[in-house]
Amino acid sequence: MIEPDEWRQPTPPAEAGRTLSGLGIVSVRTALSMRDVTPSPLEPRGRSGRPVPVECSQPFEKKRSNAVITDAPRVGSRMMLQLSEEMSAGNARLRVDVHGAHPRDHVLEDMSFLNYRLADVRIEPEVTLSTPDIVWNQEGAKAISYDGNVMTFDGDWADGPVQKVIVTMLALRMEAVGLHPFHASAVRYRDKTIVFLGGESNHGKSMGQIEACRRGGRLVSTETTVIDESGRAVMGSKDVFLKKRAKGTERADKAAPNQGVTKFFGEMPTWETYEEPSKVDIVIVPAIDGNFAPSMVEMIPFEAQFQTLHSLQNYFLLNELLAPGWPMPIVDTEALRKKRAGFVQSFCDLPYFFIRAATPQVLMDEVDKVI
């Protein structure tokens, strides 16, 4: 009989420690080696000192997509790490760890929602963060919790809620490095950078952006504009509409994406993009619903800051239901909100105009008067 201290894991194949270049996928062994894993005295160990799964001393390995992903046997009462993936937006980084019995190539199979709701979200080729920001334990009863640092999913979750949580957690990490996602579009128009702020009503930021580009403006961003501490628009999303919602995020109240375009433009105009960081020159809070007589009012500081804070808070999902019976855990704090309000106060030292208009064309006629 072989005693526990003589148990050994099989020698891994040559490619077992590699990452899948460009995708941030690591094998179970690689991911575990990146973390300070101290085996329990009750866990059997081989000559290498590594813990050996109690229920399965010979893990089955299979090769997929040039990465070795080990089926996850249970270690004691824990499920082993299946996937560790790091995402980035600008200088912000977010690590997601997935545990369980079901292998995954990626946390999310489709990144379009992240790039629509944030901007230029990428999967890093290597995991550099020492600890995860999100942990998903695929086994057990469904639950979600936040301890002030780490968001934890338990059980079976659809992609929709998972991607929403990733947006929120990545927005927090962006804010920590001085990048502020605004629920706003932006254009470079007549040598000025104009932001169309979603604000409280969110009626017109996309149509205003399309009309400005139709008049020769260059696209800076669509759904989200990322602005740094100095007030520069540094990056932004490029898709005007989200064409498909993931399971768990379906909304019957949302009109078909192209209805507004058909009504106001006939077909979608084309435009060029503006990629250089640029100081924001003016902010427009539009209100388009097809009925308004045109009017334009320069906003007082309180109004400007109120609408801007509302735009920033959009990413933290304080009023969001992730799944039936499961509200989004509160990730915001009084200290973060106070700091955010301080940034808003500084940023709002700009011309802000509230413009009512029946159509995007009338809206831009009013904008032309103040630039």
Tell me the per-residue pLDDT of 223-242, one tens digit each, with 9 for 90 and over.
999 999 999 999 999 887 65
Question: CA 202 to CA 282: how far, in whole Å?
Answer: 17
Residue with tokens 């799944």: 323
Distance CA 317, CA 183 (A): 13
Total domain count for the chain?
Answer: 2
Q: Name which of 73-82, 83-92, 180-189 the model is least confident about.
A: 73-82
Among residues 177, 192, 215, the one where a domain terminates is 177
Closest among 181, 175, 71, 162 to 113, alpha carbons compared: 162
Task: Verify that 257 and 189 share a domain, yes or no.
Answer: yes
Range of the domain at 197: 180-368
CA atoms within 13 A on the CB side of 261: 13
Contacts 24+ apart (CB under 8 A), 73-78: 75/43, 75/51, 76/40, 76/42, 76/43
Whether the per-residue pLDDT at 210 is higher than 80: the answer is yes
- Which of the listed residues 157, 177, 197 is the one where a domain comes to its end? 177
Are residues 224 and 131 part of one domain? no
Query: Do 113 and 139 reside in the same domain of the chain?
Result: yes
- The answer to whether residues 99 and 85 touch, using CB atoms and an 8 Å cutoff, is no
pLDDT at 61: 35
The pLDDT score that the predictor gives to residue 217 is 97
Main-chain dihedrals φ then ψ at residue 160, nearest 5 degrees? -55, -55
One domain for residues 254 and 121:
no
Q: Per residue in 244-286, pLDDT tens? A: 555 555 555 555 557 778 888 888 889 999 999 999 999 999 9
Q: Which of 204, 224, 210, 21 is nearest to 114 (CA)?
A: 224
Query: Which comes out higher in pLDDT, residue 77 or 246?
Result: 246
pLDDT above 60 for 66: no
Question: What is the CB neighbour count within 10 angstroms for residue 174?
Answer: 23
Answer yes or no: do 162 and 190 share one domain: no
- In this model, does residue 104 exceed pLDDT 50? yes
* Contact by Cβ (8 Å): 29, 17: yes
Q: Is residue 242 part of a domain?
A: yes
245 lies in the same domain as 286:
yes
Predicted pLDDT of residue 265? 86
Higher pLDDT, 219 or 203: 219
Amino acid 255: pLDDT = 57
Enter the pTM of the model.
0.76
At 283, which CATH number?
Answer: 3.40.50
Domain-terminating residue out of 177, 203, 238: 177
Domain membership flag for residue 2: no
